[in-house]
Amino acid sequence: MERAFEDAIRELVGPIPWPPDGKEPDRPGVALADRIFAMTGTGEPPELATFLQRRADEQHYRTYLARRAVYQLRESDPQSFVLPRLEGGPKAALAELQYDEYGGGRPARLHATLFADALASLEMPTDVTPYVDQADASTLAAVNVMSLFALNRRLRGAALGHLAAYEATSSVPCRMVALGARRLGLPDAVAAYFEEHVEADSVHEQLAVRDICGAFADDNPDLAADVLFGAAASLAVDALAAEAVLTEWRDVPEEVAQ
Ligand SMILES: [Fe+2]
Ligand SMILES: [Fe+2]
């Protein structure tokens, strides 16, 4: 089943040309970081975040949080499984990033706990089970791809690429989602979770792309293509998950917008 899932992800992503121009770059880490930034920095605000910022009502937010809960209540746990599969600089940089995700020594600041606080503030369950039970295939795929990469040593490069793309596409949407939550007057804890990620993920982006993926590619140039595969998989699967929500939401009339 895992093999079938991996094959489906590879088919979804398609071929990824590497190395650039067909010849091995002198500094693979720099070339790889440039490529990841080019993949993630489209300049367009994502449609789902734009919807949440401008048009969503409280029910839309509840639906959005319920979908994200499947991962966010276990936020960063999959990536912890990659740590023992790394060495040197990338290992130290991932540990630094994870320390931040895990609250920097303060249990109340664990990102998974901040997300649970957001759910609790809307009187939604803080146990992951009901969210998994009601999740659609695209939501589950977005989470399972992280476990697939992180739990297989041969896919560790893909796990790092996935993380980099995830972090590099988080800060701007999180700001928009926080603004939407404030617009609706939702409890502080909802906006607070996303506000925490505006600054944090702009730092994590640099750490993940340069200090983790770039350094990993310098140490393992033969695995650089896997890193790109992971980044592309992250973007493709998240786009599917966003599209699944938006197909239902696009019918909301513009007049709802405030
Ligand atoms: Fe986080
Ligand atoms: Fe992060």
258 residues of the chain, pLDDT tens digit each: 899 999 999 999 999 889 878 888 889 999 999 999 999 997 788 999 999 999 999 999 999 999 999 999 999 999 999 999 999 999 999 999 999 999 999 999 999 999 999 999 999 999 999 999 999 999 999 999 999 999 999 999 999 999 999 999 999 999 999 999 999 999 999 999 999 999 999 999 999 999 999 999 999 999 999 999 999 999 999 999 999 999 989 876 665 544
Spacing, Cα 101 to ligand 1 middle (Å): 5
Q: Kindly list the protein residues that place their beta carbon closer than 5 angstroms to ligand 1, a single-atom ion.
A: 101, 111
Range 188-197, long-range pairs (CB < 8 A, 24+ positions): 188/121, 189/114, 189/117, 189/118, 189/120, 189/121, 190/61, 190/65, 190/118, 190/121, 190/122, 192/114, 192/117, 192/118, 193/111, 193/114, 193/115, 193/117, 193/118, 196/111, 196/114, 197/111, 197/170, 197/171
Spacing, Cα 225 to ligand 1 middle (Å): 26
Which numbered ligand comes closest to the C-alpha of 113? 1
Which numbered ligand comes closest to the C-alpha of 97? 2
Spacing, Cα 208 to ligand 2 middle (Å): 9
Cα–Cα distance between 27 and 41 in angstroms, integer? 21
Q: How many residues does the chain have?
A: 258
Q: Kindly list the protein residues that place their beta carbon closer than 5 angstroms to ligand 2, a single-atom ion.
A: 201, 204
Which numbered ligand comes closest to the C-alpha of 212? 2
Which numbered ligand comes closest to the C-alpha of 109? 1
* The pLDDT of residue 174: 97
Which numbered ligand comes closest to the C-alpha of 201? 2
Spacing, Cα 95 to ligand 1 middle (Å): 14
Establish whether the linkage from the previous residue to 19 is cis, with ω within 30° of 0: yes
Listed in sequence order, the DSSP H helices in the chain are 2-13, 28-40, 47-54, 58-72, 77-80, 88-101, 111-121, 129-134, 137-151, 156-168, 171-183, 188-206, 215-219, 224-249
Which numbered ligand comes closest to the C-alpha of 68? 1
Spacing, Cα 221 to ligand 2 middle (Å): 25
Spacing, Cα 6 to ligand 2 middle (Å): 25
- Give me 249's structure tokens: 């939401």
Q: What angle do CA 54, 57, 58 make, to 5 degrees?
A: 130
* The pLDDT of residue 79: 98
Residue 253 burial (C-beta neighbours within 10 Å; 0-12, 13-18, 19+): exposed
